[in-house]
């Protein structure tokens, strides 16, 4: 009896000591008809393909950087119970390596061969907002900025949605065709840009640069922080080596930064939003992926054409 008693006690402590952590939660089969994504672009692609047939949700708050977001226990449970989970892939979502997800319901929309994935040139500390800094190293996951990669990702999403919900195949395919028309038009516009050498405040445009032959020098600048004298000198030294008169910002920079760069170095600033995070609001239809990308092109072409930056 004593042996049985202490065996039961040991088993109790063993069970208590093995309470499930975030990455060891038991995954159950899901009958839900919903899609969960990890950031805005794949949300847009999935919503465009789905129409109103399958609800699409991104649990990542609009104020969070999706690359370095860490999901709560509730968010993990939500992912684990989803009918389909869409990742960008290309090592974009850092958190997925530490979370147990149902592989049969997970797809990576980017399926590029490893040799086609771009790697950051060097480690760079960068700040996206009040959450602090992070390093850009390893594989660059900003694939969606290239309209043709976005098209490939959308096709992979379509295929997975058709497998999961075959009864909607015709509707999904029709919606996908309409989405592709917008992406193809975006590619045509991008391809027509006579892009001069440019700086980038953030290493987000590497896939665009490769696709369209852009000459981009990546920097490490935060749009909401005043440029230091040292930063201005570094930018100036680069500009002297190879005349660069254009700087792409991921969001609206401080007016002081715009004025200092133009006055002292003759460098014009242009906002080219990577569309990682788009706040949902009353005018959402005017600020979707395609609209934002076309606005990026409008601003870029306007500056290049207005001041001869592209000469």
Domain of 265, in residue numbers: 194-307
pLDDT at residue 242 in the model? 87
pLDDT at residue 138 in the model? 85
Q: What tens digit of pLDDT does each residue of 21-80 get?
A: 333 344 455 668 999 999 999 999 999 999 999 999 999 998 888 988 999 999 999 999
pLDDT at residue 63 in the model? 80
**Does the residue 97 lie in any domain?**
yes
Let me know whether 157 and 200 are in one domain.
Answer: no
Parallel, antiparallel or unpaired: strands 35-37 and 56-57: parallel
Let me know whether 202 and 130 are in one domain.
Answer: no
Q: Which residues of the chain have pLDDT under 70?
A: 1-31, 122-137, 279-286, 306-311
Across the beta sheet with 246-249, what order do the strands follow? Answer: 216-218, 198-200, 246-249, 268-271
pTM: predicted TM-score of the whole model, two decimal places = 0.84
**Does the residue 5 lie in any domain?**
no
> Quick one: 307 exposed, middle or buried, by C-beta within 10 A (0-12, 13-18, 19+)?
middle
Of 127, 158, 184, which residue constitutes the final position of a domain? 184
Q: Are 61 and 38 in contact (CB under 8 A)?
A: no
Write the CATH number for 157.
Answer: 3.40.50.1980
Let me know whether 134 and 171 are in one domain.
Answer: yes
């Amino acid at each position: 009896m004593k042996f049985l008693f202490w065996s039961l006690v040991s088993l109790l402590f063993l069970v208590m000591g093995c309470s499930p952590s975030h990455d060891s939660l038991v995954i159950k089969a899901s009958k839900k008809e919903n899609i969960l994504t990890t950031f805005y672009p794949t949300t847009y692609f999935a919503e465009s393909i789905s129409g109103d047939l399958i609800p699409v949700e991104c649990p990542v708050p609009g104020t969070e950087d999706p690359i370095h977001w860490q999901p709560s226990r509730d968010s993990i449970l939500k992912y684990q119970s989803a009918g389909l989970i869409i990742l960008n892939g290309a090592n974009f979502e850092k958190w997925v390596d530490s979370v147990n997800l149902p592989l049969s319901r997970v797809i990576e929309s980017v399926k590029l061969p490893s040799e086609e994935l771009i790697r950051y040139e060097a480690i760079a500390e960068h700040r996206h907002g009040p959450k602090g800094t992070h390093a850009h190293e390893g594989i660059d996951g900003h694939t969606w900025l290239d309209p043709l990669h976005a098209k490939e990702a959308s096709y992979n999403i379509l295929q997975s949605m058709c497998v999961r919900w075959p009864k909607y195949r015709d509707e999904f395919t029709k919606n996908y065709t309409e989405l592709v028309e917008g992406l193809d038009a975006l590619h045509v516009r991008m391809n027509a840009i006579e892009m001069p050498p440019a700086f980038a405040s953030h290493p987000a445009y590497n896939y665009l640069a490769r696709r369209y032959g852009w000459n981009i020098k990546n920097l490490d600048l935060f749009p909401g922080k005043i440029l230091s004298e040292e930063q201005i000198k570094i930018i100036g030294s680069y500009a002297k080596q190879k005349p660069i008169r254009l700087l792409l910002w991921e969001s609206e920079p401080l007016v002081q930064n715009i004025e200092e760069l133009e006055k002292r170095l003759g460098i014009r600033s242009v906002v080219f939003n990577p569309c990682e995070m788009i706040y949902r609001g009353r005018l959402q239809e005017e600020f979707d992926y395609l609209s934002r990308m076309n606005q990026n092109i409008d601003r870029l072409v306007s500056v290049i054409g207005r001041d001869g930056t592209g000469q």
